[in-house]
Structure 1
Amino acid sequence: MVLYKAFIKKQIRNYLFGSVVAVLAVGSVLLISSLELPALEYGRLFLVLLFSFLVMALLEISLFMKHVKPIRTALRTADPSLELLEKAYHYTHRLPKHAVYRILGPHLFGMAVPAILMTYWMIHTDLVSLPYSVLYQAVTGAVLIACMHALIEFFLTCSAIIPLIKEFRNRALERYNVDFSLEGYVFVPIGPKFMVSCMLIGTFPLALFIMATNVRLHDTALSRTGIQNFWGWAGMVLFIGTAFSAIAAWLLTKSVQHPINELYKATNNVKDGQLLQIQDEYLDEFSNLVAGFNMMVRGLQAREEQNRQLLDSYFTTLAVALDARDPYTAGHSLRVAEYSVIIGQLAGITGVELDNLRKSALLHDIGKIGVRDSVLFKEGKLTDEEFDQIKAHPVLGENILRQIEPLEKMTPYLGGVRSHHERYDGKGYPDGLAGQAIPLYGRIIAVADAYDAMTSDRPYRKGMAPEQALGILEQGRGTQWDPVFAGLFLEYSRAK
């Protein structure tokens, strides 16, 4: 509750500051400097202003207490739920917007309506010697003053809510290990905020000056034509000032929105795995933001490269460790990966897809870890039961990879590992897939695996000559192996 009390005290100070500046100070100065009235009438008008201020404060305080109720409830609850904390977190972000609605609602009408009615009564009963036209100017002035007060209150509230936002976020982290985030949601777009702020800052002094001057002119002996000429001049000045403010606000908004949008797009690219730096084209402090962002991206790129090298080493080590079980098959997985990459390149596969193909080929026989040595290295003919064990290694390999976390990182390799013994005519194993139903990597690895198996020495036979092995691949195109990938490998090998 200490934080809540501090927040309320700060809001009261902010409110009093904004009210004094925008209502009492400006209103009083306008009255004192622009009107020539007896002291008694000044006092009556000041009492009207004070009474209206009290009515406004009463209405506004009741609405403010309603606005902060979710925040008060969350801070007063000893053990708040996650839902309550999240509601308070989001509601706190809305307070600056609520402050504007509060000022332009009960603040404006609570102040203006009593003041206009009481002043009208005083003019009607000759308690103050003012023309009725002053009332129209007073209404315009009240709107301008309320807009200025809303602007002040908005920015002061933006500063005041920061400790509350941090508190709700920290409580959610400590109690529920949940980190709140707006996920890019914008409560107040920067465009309208800059446009309205600059317009008010630029036109408020002009409008106030014109109104004060007009009141002053009504107190002097000017002809009707003179007053009309004044309003023509005042309208031109106000138009030029407003146009200048609008153009300046648009240019300022654009200069701020552009780097923000660029940074937002770049962070989305990072989220999607595209580690791209931003072109530094800014002359102000946004250049520091861009430099910091690019520094972060370079760090992520270095980390990504280290992770890639580590993963490559991990895959290669697994493949070498597997091949080391049998001196006759040493280097088999590396060669199959090399042949698979050649076929992939000939087929137009590039980038990440080609790298995934290489890794899948490196691990294509990892399931043989689960096959007994007595079966795997048997030199004689295998029994049906032993052959079933051999045929199980693609499924065993897929299951082994599924145990590695995160699973989505292993997913690209599962199809190639499981299906590299499928046949194009559907007579392979383990699933009896045929044609294009066989995963892409499986069809490529099947060609590379068969060629290396045929050309490698075994304990029970000498490896075939490359031309003989290529002849068998030619014969099996379209039946055992994918005709396109087998054809590409044949063409490449014979061209060498």
Structure 2
Amino acid sequence: MDFYRHFQRMLLRNYLIGSLIAVIGVGGFFVFSTLHFSTFEKWMILGIIALSFFIMCFIEYRAFSRHIKPIYRAFYKSTPSIRTLTNGFVQAHRFPLLTVKRIMGPHFLGLSVPAIILVSAAIYFGFLNMPYMYLFMGGLGAVIVAGMHAIVEFYLTTSAVKPIIEELRNRAVELHGDPLSQNNRVFVSIQRKIQLSTIFIGTFPVLLFALANQVKLYEQAASITRSYWSWAIFILMLGMLFAFFGTYLIYKDLLAPMKNLQTAMEEVQLGNSQFLLDNTYSDEFSRLVSGFNHMSSSIRDREEMNHQLLDSFFAVMAATMDARDPYTAGHSQRVAEYSVQIGEKAGLSMDELSTLKKAALLHDIGKIGIPDHILLKEGKLDDIEFSYIKKHPVVGFSILSQVQPREAMEPLLPGVKYHHERYDGKGYPEGLSGDDIPFFGRIIAVADAYDAMTSDRPYRKGMSREKAVAILLDGKGTQWDPALVPLLVEELKLSSVS
């Protein structure tokens, strides 16, 4: 609640100071320095201004209470829901714009309407000696002053609301693990801010001066006034057109680099860390572009390093597993190479080939859980011993499933778990058949079988390439995928020719 109370105090201070300066300072000075009143009339005008000011405060307070309620609820409750925090977060972003609407609505109307009614009544009953046309000019002056006040309050509120937005985001993360986001929503565009700021700050003071001068001239000569006002409107229109055109040029100059940066950020978000921007700017955007390019290069270098570390990790893990049995040294690496060759022939993408290689390197990781007297046995395994061996795909699946983040290991799991399934459904661990066996599992099964047949064992010498190929061809459609066996055979023939 401390953030909220501080926010309220800042808004109240800004509002009171701004309102007093706008209403009493600018408005009062405009009236009393432009027109001549008797002492009684001055007190009458001051009383009307004071009464209208209090009416304005009352009306605007009601609008303010309604506008700030979502923010108040987000801070008032000890454990607000994510919906309450989201409503407060969105309202905080809208608050500067709501401030402008209050000043141009209840603030302006709450002051001007009672003041115009009271002054009209005072003129009608003879308490004030002034033409009714001054009411129209005063109304125009009130619009100008309100506009100037609104643009100042907009930027003051924008500054005041930033700690509130940050605190609401922190509370959402702390209570619900959700960092609140605007979802790329723009509440006030830069173009609108520049245009309104230029108009209010650049032309409204001139318009206020022209209006005050008009009143002065009206008191002296009506014919001069008409001539002056025609001239003044023309000059003011030129000034406003120039302000709009200048604003448009400024906005275009700012928009181009912002769009480029936004496009570049979207590319990085999609995973394209190679994206760099051409730095053709000579202003502060040059630093932003340089900073973005540096960030993008750092991300790319970090990704390359992570890929190298990950590839090294998989290779070391495979070598560590193979080191348990000197007769199968290099088995995992060779299975990975054969699997990639099959994958290339099958038309897999580079990303898919990379995942396939990792899965093949770790396809036997589950043998970590098999006792040495079974894994290293030189003779034929009995049924009980073979049942232990048959568990290694599931053990490997279980080991890799515990690696965090899980989504990084997820694509590897099917190849590890199902590389001993048979195409005819007589394999293990689940007895899957045909295309129900995951694609990586079918590829690794072919590569694993070929390397096992051609590698030396303590109890037998490895087969020749020709004999192993003959067995693969004979077993396609029963033990192995009939579409994948020819792919490895074709690659083996090419390598033998070369």
Report the TM-score, using the length of structure 2 for normalisation.
0.86
Question: Separation in 1 of the partners of 2:491 and 2:2?
Answer: 77
Tell me the SS of whatever aligns to 2:234. Answer: helix
Deviation at 1:410, TM superposition (A): 0.6
Comparing 149-158 and 328-337, the one that deviates more: 149-158
Comparing 312-321 and 353-362, the one that deviates more: 312-321
Match status 1:246 vs 2:248 = no
- CA shift digits 1:103-125 (9 cap, x unpaired): 12221111101110112123323
Match status 1:154 vs 2:140 = no
Deviation at 1:81, TM superposition (A): 1.8
Q: Which residue of 2 aligns with 1:439?
A: 438
Q: Which residue of 1 aligns with 2:103?
A: 103
Q: Which residue of 2 aligns with 1:114?
A: 114
Does structure 2 conserve the Cα–Cα contact (< 8 Å) formed by 1:470 and 1:490? yes
Aligned residues: 491
Aligned letter for 1:149? Answer: H
Q: In structure 2, do the counterparts of structure 1 residues 252 and 495 end up closer, same or farther at CA, with 3 Å as the change threshold?
A: same
Tell me the SS of whatever aligns to 1:219. Answer: helix
Aligned letter for 1:13? Answer: R
Tell me the SS of whatever aligns to 1:424. Answer: coil
Comparing 210-219 and 83-92, the one that deviates more: 83-92
Aligned letter for 2:291? Answer: G
Question: Separation in 1 of the partners of 2:243 and 2:477?
Answer: 75
Does structure 2 conserve the Cα–Cα contact (< 8 Å) formed by 1:332 and 1:452? yes
Aligned letter for 1:370? Answer: G
Does structure 2 conserve the Cα–Cα contact (< 8 Å) formed by 1:266 and 1:277? yes
Aligned letter for 1:416? Answer: G
Deviation at 1:27, TM superposition (A): 2.0
Deviation at 1:149, TM superposition (A): 1.2
Aligned letter for 1:244? Answer: F
1:233 corresponds, among 231, 234, 238, to: 231
Does structure 2 conserve the Cα–Cα contact (< 8 Å) formed by 1:392 and 1:430? yes
Q: In structure 2, do the counterparts of structure 1 residues 254 and 468 end up closer, same or farther at CA, with 3 Å as the change threshold?
A: same
Q: In structure 2, do the counterparts of structure 1 residues 249 and 45 end up closer, same or farther at CA, with 3 Å as the change threshold?
A: same
Q: In structure 2, do the counterparts of structure 1 residues 3 and 35 end up closer, same or farther at CA, with 3 Å as the change threshold?
A: same
Tell me the SS of whatever aligns to 2:54. Answer: helix
Aligned letter for 1:293? Answer: F
Aligned letter for 2:96? Answer: P
Q: In structure 2, do the counterparts of structure 1 residues 61 and 360 end up closer, same or farther at CA, with 3 Å as the change threshold?
A: same
Aligned letter for 1:246? Answer: F
Q: In structure 2, do the counterparts of structure 1 residues 50 and 309 end up closer, same or farther at CA, with 3 Å as the change threshold?
A: same
Does structure 2 conserve the Cα–Cα contact (< 8 Å) formed by 1:206 and 1:241? no
Match status 1:219 vs 2:219 = yes
Tell me the SS of whatever aligns to 2:484. Answer: helix
Does structure 2 conserve the Cα–Cα contact (< 8 Å) formed by 1:108 and 1:142? yes
Aligned letter for 1:54? Answer: F
Does structure 2 conserve the Cα–Cα contact (< 8 Å) formed by 1:199 and 1:249? no
Question: Separation in 1 of the partners of 2:364 and 2:246?
Answer: 68
Aligned letter for 2:307? Answer: R
Q: How does 1:262-411 map to 2 (within 5 A)?
A: 262-279=260-277, 280-411=279-410
Q: In structure 2, do the counterparts of structure 1 residues 446 and 298 end up closer, same or farther at CA, with 3 Å as the change threshold?
A: same
| Unaligned segments of structure 2, at least 5 residues | none
Comparing 389-398 and 405-414, the one that deviates more: 389-398
Q: In structure 2, do the counterparts of structure 1 residues 346 and 65 end up closer, same or farther at CA, with 3 Å as the change threshold?
A: same
Q: Which residue of 2 aligns with 1:201?
A: 201
- CA shift digits 1:47-92 (9 cap, x unpaired): 43233223223333454455556666776x6x82243766655544
- CA shift digits 1:166-214 (9 cap, x unpaired): 55556667x7485743354544343433332233233313432443343
Q: In structure 2, do the counterparts of structure 1 residues 179 and 444 end up closer, same or farther at CA, with 3 Å as the change threshold?
A: closer
Tell me the SS of whatever aligns to 1:364. Answer: coil
Does structure 2 conserve the Cα–Cα contact (< 8 Å) formed by 1:34 and 1:216? yes
Question: Separation in 2 of the partners of 1:2 and 1:472?
Answer: 78
Question: Separation in 2 of the partners of 1:345 and 1:130?
Answer: 94
Deviation at 1:159, TM superposition (A): 1.7
- CA shift digits 1:289-340 (9 cap, x unpaired): 3333333333333333333233222212221121112111100001111122
Question: Separation in 2 of the partners of 1:332 and 1:103?
Answer: 78
Does structure 2 conserve the Cα–Cα contact (< 8 Å) formed by 1:36 and 1:219? no
Question: Separation in 1 of the partners of 2:35 and 2:276?
Answer: 58
Question: Separation in 1 of the partners of 2:198 and 2:485?
Answer: 70
Report the TM-score, using the length of structure 1 for normalisation.
0.86
Does structure 2 conserve the Cα–Cα contact (< 8 Å) formed by 1:86 and 1:180? no
Aligned letter for 1:346? Answer: K
Tell me the SS of whatever aligns to 1:349. Answer: coil
Does structure 1 conserve the Cα–Cα contact (< 8 Å) formed by 2:89 and 2:180? no
